[in-house]
């Protein structure tokens, strides 16, 4: 696929680029003429993604919660490619299960990677984005729009990154930096497949109301993100119906509180002692990196 023009020569940083949304986003952006800087915790996978791209690319091993590491990466990306035009704060992990029985280390790590990691990414790259009058896209989730039982850490982190991005938009807009928030529902990634390995989590999700109970293909969702990046949009929706959720989000906490109680009660003793660590291959990579570090 040839570059479309809008992204030709643009230097794009993608965190969490080793797999899932980040890896496919890198491929699609590269096909449209962008130069890619890939950041993540899986060097072999990052190397493979970089090798598969259509144009210039390089990868950096870094934990997004490490300010010194991300600042170093920001400097090296600029030194290598001359500028940074777009940063996609995509890195994320998840855990599930009742909060009372949750693994406190895994719960905290979700907040650290998803929320603190996004802030660290912004702190490292915003100075170079101000130089280029660029675009910062924060990947959030349906979890930022509506709370969900059994996903307290993930919902809290994604609500946090949504608010963080809205604050940034007001702070850096006058310096020419555009800020967007990307929303995704359940999308076919290692993270979602990892969560579905637990019978209770899979069955609870299946009982969500349509269309939030479906798993959506990755390709079309990432295509929508690419379009949002080309437009430097304030809001990007990976699934068409998420835009409509914004108009009813004020009603959702009360509704989820009522329906969620009923559904959690339905599973009763099956929830006792359910302890879910970080899910999916990305979660395993995060745990491995912290153990080795």
Residues assigned a catalytic role:
154
Instruction: Report the chain's C-alpha Rg in angstroms.
Output: 19
- DSSP per residue over 247-281, as a string? GGGGGHHHHHHHHHHHHHHHHGGGGTT----S-HH
Shortest CA distance to 33 belongs to which of 53, 50, 49?
53
Q: Do the Cβ atoms of 146 and 256 come closer than 8 Å?
A: yes
**240-260: b or e for each residue (b if 16 or more CB lie within 10 Å)?**
eebeebeeeeeeeeeebeeeb
Q: Do the Cβ atoms of 110 and 95 come closer than 8 Å?
A: yes
CA distance 38 to 11: 11
């Amino acid at each position: 696929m040839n570059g479309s023009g809008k992204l030709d020569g643009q230097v794009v940083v993608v965190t969490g680029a080793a797999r899932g949304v980040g890896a496919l986003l890198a491929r699609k952006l590269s096909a449209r003429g962008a130069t890619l800087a890939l950041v993540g915790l899986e060097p072999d996978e990052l190397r493979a993604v970089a090798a598969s791209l259509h144009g210039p690319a390089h990868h950096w091993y870094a934990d997004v919660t490490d300010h010194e590491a991300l600042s170093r990466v920001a400097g090296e990306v600029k030194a290598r490619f001359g500028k940074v035009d777009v940063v996609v704060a995509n890195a994320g992990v998840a855990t599930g299960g009742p909060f009372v029985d949750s693994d406190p280390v895994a719960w905290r790590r979700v907040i650290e990677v998803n929320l603190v990691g996004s802030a660290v990414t912004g702190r490292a790259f915003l100075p170079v984005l101000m130089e280029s009058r660029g675009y910062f896209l924060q990947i959030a989730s349906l979890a930022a729009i509506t709370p969900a039982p059994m996903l307290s850490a993930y919902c809290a982190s994604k609500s946090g990154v949504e608010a963080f991005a809205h604050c940034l938009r007001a702070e850096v807009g006058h310096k020419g930096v555009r800020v967007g928030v990307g929303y995704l529902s359940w999308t076919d990634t290692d993270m979602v497949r990892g969560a579905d390995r637990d019978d209770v989590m899979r069955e609870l999700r299946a009982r969500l109301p349509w269309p939030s109970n479906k798993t959506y293909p990755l390709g079309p969702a990432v295509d929508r993100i690419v379009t949002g990046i080309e437009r430097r949009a304030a809001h990007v929706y990976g699934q068409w119906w998420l835009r409509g959720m914004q108009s009813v989000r004020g009603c959702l906490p009360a509704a989820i509180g009522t329906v969620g109680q009923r559904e959690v009660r339905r599973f009763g003793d099956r929830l006792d002692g359910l302890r879910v660590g970080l899910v999916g291959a990305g979660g395993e990579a995060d745990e491995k990196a912290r153990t080795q570090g």
